[in-house]
Structure formats: C-alpha cells, structure tokens
Structure 1
C-alpha cells in the first residue's frame, strides 16, 4: 500500500479542515437553456442552448447520495437537491418528473428535500401539482416592482414582469409557499424600503438580496460600499418595524450574534464550507460555486472535478484537494482569516466572487465581501450606536 508524500497528506488535512466531507446542498442543472434573456446581468454562459440532462445523470446522483451514509456521529444529514438552470422549468413537467423519479426512495426516507429557483414565468397548474406532490421548496427570482424588474426580459427584449407576477399569483392561489431573491443593482440600492414593501406584499416566506455581483458573463456596474451600507441600514430599520418578515441576510447575522451570545463561538468557528457540488446537465461536477459551471479558463481549465457517470459524488469530493482551484480557495480562506476583521462573521469570500473579481481563488477581499457582508455589519453597528442613550 503506497503512502502519499507528507506534503500531500498536509494538503488533504487542510482541505478536511475547511471543506465538509458531505454536501448539504447539491445543485442540479436539468437544462442549460433559459426561456428569458436577462442579458444586462445574467451570469449563465449557455442560457441560449438546449442541453437537457439525461435520466442516467439523475440516477447516478441519487445513487451517490444513497451511498454517502451517516456522518461521524452516526447521523444521516438531509441533503437539499436544488434544481437550478438555466431556467429549470424550461425542461418541462414530463422531463422533470423523469429526473425526480430516481430520488423518490431517498425522499420517502426523509433523506433529501427538493427545491427550485425559478423566474416563475412558466408556472402553471401542472407545475404546481408537481411542486406539491414532491414537496418542493420554491424560490422565485424577482427584483422588485416593474421599474426595478425591467432587466428581466424575454428573448424579444420585452419585460417579463407581468408573467413573473402571474406565476407568483398561481403559487398563491394554490397555497404554495415561496421565497424570493432580488438582485439589487445601482437602480435599486437606494430604494430598500420600496423593495421590501413590494416583496413583502407578495407574501413570500423569506426575502433574500443579492447585491449585484461581477461574475460569469455579467460585467456591469456594481453598487458601491457606501451605497450598500445605506441599503442595509434602511433594511434593518424596515425589519424592526416589520418583525414578522424574514430577511435572509439579517437572519444570518442574527444567527451569528445569537451563537456568540450563547457562548458557542466554537460552534460557529467550526463551520466548514459545503463542497456545493453542481451537477451539470452531462454529469460533470463543479465544486464550490454554481457560477463556475460552463466556464473555461486558460489557467484552471473547465473547473470539472469529475463526472457522476464515472465516479460517485463522495469520491469526487474526497479527492477535491488535488484540484488547483480548490487548494487556492483554501489558501484564500486562510489569508482571510489572518488579515480580515470581518472573518469571524463572514467566514471568507465565496469562491466564484474571488475568481470573477480578482482572477484567482487565492485572493481575499472582494466587492461582494464589502457590499454583502462588511457593510451589513457596519450598518448594524451604526444602527446600534444611534439607539444608544
């Protein structure tokens, strides 16, 4: 039996410290195609192409999740299987039903949970039947009222706002709960209250904000940190006045503060990154960031860690420490921990943002860090100081 050199053992040990051995979220790409063309900011490079996932890929992923087994504590963690695209509903109800079938034994055993992130334009009663039958969690992408949602357009360049609202209306008629994610660009960064009033009025169970990022094929302008601080300050004030509405980012910050106050800092610090495997339509596995799917780079190649038709998911994740982009990401996390005062909460910039903003995974701070994490904390500090007697 051969023994890996000391340097390789050390690299594998560092990987095990930072990256969880089992995914809690698996992203499935049923088709690269999207029925819309939000060219102003969409990061998906293959959204105009039909590349449909074969059932064999879904079967291989389901088999991989079955073989993962319990963790070191003897527990079987529930895995979220998130259907993402392209526009996942563009694959059609019949094809999606076929892709879901291999997961049914796992779902019946309570070991997986399905979710979908959709632009909602294709939602009809057939889709609602599917969501209810398979107990889907539904997330809708909508950027606010019509003027702030105008960049979500169809292939003829027409705003899709009315169709998105129609899909949301159908979910509400059928009693299907849903969350929303809004991309906040330079046009909406100064309108936190308007955004929250509108999104809360839709009846969403949770509101999430993605302050516009530079990633994939999106190279547009991004809000500046000072603007982001103003946005989060207004969001905190709005949330205080509307305590029944959940805001994803404030929930995360509140969870961190609650853990610290409970004297359980070690629990938070022990957090490891989900390997976040994204399963491309052809079975290729990309780790750490769904935004890397379909991207090619002169230095990193295609970011593919393996293929589920050839290897099980557990084996692919276990050997991920051999991939240059994964080891660089770990180096970047260590550098963040050593240099950034926000690391305790932030836990380091995401892999995709490091790459798309800085050109390397070994980098540290990104604009995403500043506008989505640092200025959120600064806004809370500002708010607290104002409230002090």
Structure 2
C-alpha cells in the first residue's frame, strides 16, 4: 500500500455520537437511532495520538448529528485538542444537518474554538424533501433557522448537498439558492448506495452528466460560489502534464467511532458489519495511538484489496489520472469487495463532470491545455 496511501492524514473524522434526530431517506448511517456518545477519554486518546511530525490536521466532527451530543459534552471533547489548536496543529470543523438547533450558545462555542461550520442542505424547500426528522416532518425550516443564526452572528459556513435523481435537472435552481443563502463554497455528493442506503435510487450517468453540465454553465456565468467538483477539475487541468500523470497518495482519513474504533479510507464504513473484513476496524485509539494504527494499515484485507484495485484502475481506466481511484467504500457497497474497479460513484462524480465539461468546450470550439477535439483529459466525449 506504501505507494498509494499517505503516511499521515490531512483529515481525521471523529464521531461524537451515533445519534441523529433526522431520518433522511438516503442516509448511510446504520446506527443513527442509537445514543452512543464519545467519552473525553477517547477524545484525549485521539488528540495525544496526533504525531508532532504531522502537518496541521483538520478534525471533522461528523456522523450522526454532532450537535446532538450537547454543548457541555462537546466542549469536553474539544478540550484535549486545545494545546494543538493553539499551536496551529489542529483545525476543527463540524458538519451539521440542523438536527439540533444552532443557537447563540452553539455559536459561542464555534467562535471560542475557531470551528469551521458545514451545513447539510440540498437546495430550496422542494428539493430538500429527502431531509426529514424521525416523524417524517421536513427539516427545511429548522435548518434555515440555524443558517440565519450563523449569518446573524457573522459566522461563515460551507454547504454539503446531496444530489438525488429528482434533483439532477435542477442544478441552476440549486446554485441560485446556495448563492442567495450566503455560502461561498458548496460540495455536491451525488446519491450513492452506501451503508443503510443500500436500496437507494442513484442517478444514471446521463442524469449526472446533465447536472454537471448545467453546473459548469452556471459557474461560467457566476463566480459567487465555489463548487468543489468544478474547482477540483479545473485545478487538475491547470497542472502540467507531468503533474497530471503523477500518482497521488490517498489520505487514510482515520475515522474514529464513539468508542475509539478506527476505520480507514472511507468514513462511510464506520459501523458497517462484515465478517470478511473484521468490520473494517484497524485498531482502537484506547489501545494504540493513531500512528501505530496507520503503520499497520497494510495488514488489513480491505486495504490490500483497494491497493490492488488501484493498480488495475491505473492500467485500464482513462479517467484515472484525474480521480486516482476515487473512494474505497463505494467499491464495497456496490460490489461487496474492494477489488472492484468502476462504481456508480466513478460514473456520476468523476466521469460525468469530465464528460460534461468536454461536451461544453467542444460545443463552443474552445481548446485549453489539452481540451478540444478529444475532450478533457484526452477523453473522447460520449454522446
């Protein structure tokens, strides 16, 4: 795995609680109905396991609803990281769906600990209907109330949005909404079959391609919002050919459960059961520190299979130089093995935007650094 996985993480995902008061139709979290909470002892073990040699690490508090752990407990979990944060070695981020109200008291915590805030909302009311509470009631108004509190307090926020089948034709409407919402950055996650959402209705590549085409068109007219996927693709195309052809190393993304268990490569694997892969657990921070756990990563069957699959992807896939093999978890959720190659995620979140951009540029007769008659990244547009 050495050539494929970075020696140190850029991101650590920490699960303060499994509980989420929401019951979104596409949610992948299997234990979101259980109230299992991280202890300060686990948080302390995570903090003390961040090696002095590591570059600044982003600690993302996520999955279930982080705010459901409560203000007092959340502040306790943050305390062990304080020496690291003050030294500039750790940055905090919290991703919330508004399952618990964002109050002024929460804003005080966000400001005190310099926490970046990400809000999950899919678009205007009619496109946010998949986000509901346990009683099936829409979350839109409650999420919007939290956003208004953030804006009143002058706290910037990013947005994560899920693109479902029924939203693929509404990219312009969604982006107009995001611009008016006041965010400067949005990331789109095309709905995928993951975890509890094993029966989800994922968009086809043609629907996804339409969404990305409309997104690129919107971004051409407006620069008010940075779209993660657009920025990533343009950033890649701006590299020299040598840099494009070079292999990247995957962030191991150690994801720590409420009880200290660690999974690697894909946060969506947390809480998923598999006899074959020993529930994907790489170790526990109460028993070993993170550097030790990462050092043993290549002993894990799913890491070994993923590494082998990356070699196959590189040899066979025309999109590999851009995606570098994409996400590990989707291989398992769709195929039951990490040795698989192409997935719906590949098609909808990697191939579709590349092909959409190539189509637009070809349509206009434009050419830019390898774009033109053969499309982006040397890929022939598929009509």
Q: Shared fold by TM > 0.5?
A: yes
Q: Secondary structure at the match of 2:282?
A: strand
2:378 matched to which residue of 1? none
Matched, 1:252 2:238: no
**Which of these residues, 59, 75, 99, is aligned with residue 44 of structure 2?**
59
Partners in 2 of 1:30 and 1:60 — Cα distance? Answer: 14
Partners in 2 of 1:364 and 1:111 — Cα distance? Answer: 36
Unmatched 5+ residue regions in structure 1? 1-14, 71-75
1:387 shift after superposition? 1.4
Partners in 1 of 2:330 and 2:299 — Cα distance? Answer: 21
What does residue range 188-207 of structure 1 map to in structure 2 within 5 Å?
A: 188-207=167-186
Partners in 2 of 1:84 and 1:365 — Cα distance? Answer: 27
Matched, 1:369 2:351: no
**Which of these residues, 12, 19, 25, is aligned with residue 5 of structure 2?**
19
2:292 matched to which residue of 1? 315
Checking the alignment, whether the CA contact within 8 Å between 1:349 and 1:364 is kept in structure 2 is no
Matched, 1:79 2:57: yes
Checking the alignment, whether the CA contact within 8 Å between 2:179 and 2:224 is kept in structure 1 is no
2:22 matched to which residue of 1? 36
1:220 shift after superposition? 1.1
Matched, 1:49 2:42: no
Matched, 1:110 2:93: no
1:255 shift after superposition? 1.1
Q: Secondary structure at the match of 1:26?
A: strand
Partners in 1 of 2:76 and 2:144 — Cα distance? Answer: 28
Per-residue Cα deviation, 1:183-226 (whole angstroms, up to 9, x for no partner): 01011011111111111110112011111001001021111001
Matched, 1:355 2:332: yes
Partners in 2 of 1:301 and 1:51 — Cα distance? Answer: 21
Q: Secondary structure at the match of 1:209?
A: strand
1:264 shift after superposition? 3.5
Per-residue Cα deviation, 1:105-158 (whole angstroms, up to 9, x for no partner): 000000010001101242100111111111111111101111111111111111
Q: Secondary structure at the match of 2:326?
A: coil
Q: Secondary structure at the match of 1:106?
A: helix
Matched, 1:301 2:278: yes
Checking the alignment, whether the CA contact within 8 Å between 2:255 and 2:264 is kept in structure 1 is yes
Checking the alignment, whether the CA contact within 8 Å between 1:349 and 1:366 is kept in structure 2 is no
Partners in 2 of 1:260 and 1:217 — Cα distance? Answer: 41
Per-residue Cα deviation, 1:270-292 (whole angstroms, up to 9, x for no partner): 42001110000000001111111
What does residue range 49-198 of structure 1 map to in structure 2 within 5 Å?
A: 49-65=34-50, 68-70=51-53, 76-121=54-99, 122-198=101-177
Q: Secondary structure at the match of 1:116?
A: strand
Checking the alignment, whether the CA contact within 8 Å between 1:179 and 1:205 is kept in structure 2 is yes
Q: How many residues align?
A: 364
Larger deviation: 196-205 or 306-315?
Answer: 196-205
1:301 shift after superposition? 2.4
1:21 shift after superposition? 1.0
1:69 shift after superposition? 2.6
